[in-house]
Amino acid sequence: MFKKVFNTYWSPYLVMAVAGVLSALYFGVTGTVWAVTGEFTRLGGHILEWFGVDISGWAYFNLIHMQGTTFTRTDGWIVWGMFVGALLMVLLSNNFKIRMPRQKRRLLQGLIGGFVAGFGARLALGCNLAAFFTGVPQFSLHAWLFIVATAVGTFAGAKIVGTSWWKGKPVLQKGNTARMMKERKKIQPYIGGVLALAYAGLIVYFYATGKTMLGTAALFGAGFGILIERGQICFTSAFRDLWISGRATMTKAITLGMAVSSVVTLIIIVAGGMDPITKIAAPSTLIGGLLFGIGIVMAGGCETGMMYRLMEGQVVFLPVFIGNIAGATVLAYGWDHLGIQKALVAMGKPVNLIAVMGPAWALVVTLVLLAAGFATAVFWQKNYRFGVGFKKGETHHVH
């Protein structure tokens, strides 16, 4: 049983379906959604404050609220919980190892990609999670605009990373030794066990001291982190793999997760009399999605992919993380100081499908669009061949 849980990755379909349910339940309990880049932006704001910068007048930081610290906010514990949950699974499966990129240029490329993705995500007021994995189930129109723009962006990003000047010269790297693997095996699961107990104690402390929202965020955050690591969930590969290899497993799994989450979220909205969270649909949504798509492919991973890969010891994702925070912070500065909000956001408005067509039709339209996306992914995987494109028939035979 232990081996099945920790030594093999879980079905991405199962993982995303469970994540969809958890995401909906988290909204039902807290009234907020599963998201990460908003907190990344706040971290950037706190770093500026540490260096003596007065951000009290920055409109973007006032928009996303800077009260407290990352350890006293639910959004903060969603992020740190995801890191902890992913690290727990990595340790218990004996898979932590410091992995340096074979090419040093990947560190700079990761930083640049992270910066572009962070800037784009916050321009659109949410990354892949808040913008479409939780945006679609909240029936927010902006999520669909973001999906289309991200698809285009990842296609452009795939073209960029496929060029020889981006790839550079390949570098061979020696593999790990059996002795090192054996040494890692002795200690990692024990460290994971201690970490699990310590984190469980923290959650109990939150609840015992009346900080129920923090306890809930820490609990759900760890759950999300466990799921993304065990399912190896990366929204980048959901798009990039389509353009490069035609593989659509992650695309189909994420689409399924959005469908499950949409159904459960609507039940919670209707039964609980809750208002769905709706973001502004504007030119900024399309431009932000485009930049985000380009950035995540350049970085080699989206926010979720970056988080669990960093916990696996993949050093290249540290500059991606730093770049994400930097890009989001620059956007926060440009929001009012450079007139970004006035030029790209002001003319937009929040549009929710429930308000436009009622709950039943909002769900029907959402599920039909997701089903169409799923069917397209199935067709794509069946007929697209790497380096050939759509050449049905003859590509299936090798002579």
pLDDT at 394 over 90: no
pLDDT score for 395: 43
**CB under 8 Å to 109, separation ≥6 — which residues?**
166, 298, 299, 300
d(CA 330, CA 45) in angstroms, rounded, equals: 10
240-260: average pLDDT: 89
- CB atoms near residue 53 (< 10 Å): 12
- Do 312 and 188 contact (CB within 8 A), yes or no? no
What does the DSSP 8-state code read for residue 394? G
| Residues 267-279 pLDDT 10s | 999 998 999 999 9
45-71: average pLDDT: 93
pLDDT-derived band at 256 (thresholds 50, 70, 90) equals: very high
pTM for the complete prediction? 0.89
Single-letter amino acid code for the residue at 389? G
d(CA 367, CA 105) in angstroms, rounded, equals: 42
What does the DSSP 8-state code read for residue 99? B
Single-letter amino acid code for the residue at 32? T
Average pLDDT, the chain: 89
pLDDT at 153 over 70: yes
- Do 221 and 81 contact (CB within 8 A), yes or no? yes
d(CA 110, CA 300) in angstroms, rounded, equals: 7
**CB under 8 Å to 63, separation ≥6 — which residues?**
335
| Residues 98-141 pLDDT 10s | 999 888 889 999 999 999 999 999 999 877 677 777 899 999 99
pLDDT score for 161: 87
d(CA 19, CA 255) in angstroms, rounded, equals: 12
6-20: average pLDDT: 88
Question: Which of 34-43, 153-162, 179-188, 204-213 reaches the highest mean pLDDT?
Answer: 204-213
pLDDT score for 177: 46
The string of DSSP codes covering 121-175 is HHHTTS-HIIIIITTTTTTBHHHHHHHHHHHHHHHHHHHHHTSHHHH-S----PP
Given the structure tokens 């599963």, which residue do they identify?
A: 34
Higher pLDDT, 166 or 13: 13
pLDDT score for 103: 86
pLDDT at 305 over 90: no
| Residues 190-245 pLDDT 10s | 999 999 999 999 999 999 999 999 999 999 999 999 999 999 888 777 888 888 88
Lowest mean pLDDT segment, chosen from 5-14, 97-106, 316-325, 384-393: 384-393
Q: Report the SS3 class of residue 279.
A: coil
Higher pLDDT, 74 or 395: 74
289-301: average pLDDT: 92
pLDDT score for 5: 67
pLDDT at 184 over 80: no
Q: What is the per-residue burial (b if ≥16 Cβ within 10 Å, else e) of 93-132?
A: bbbbeeeebebeebbebbbbbbbbbbbbbbbbbbbbbbbb
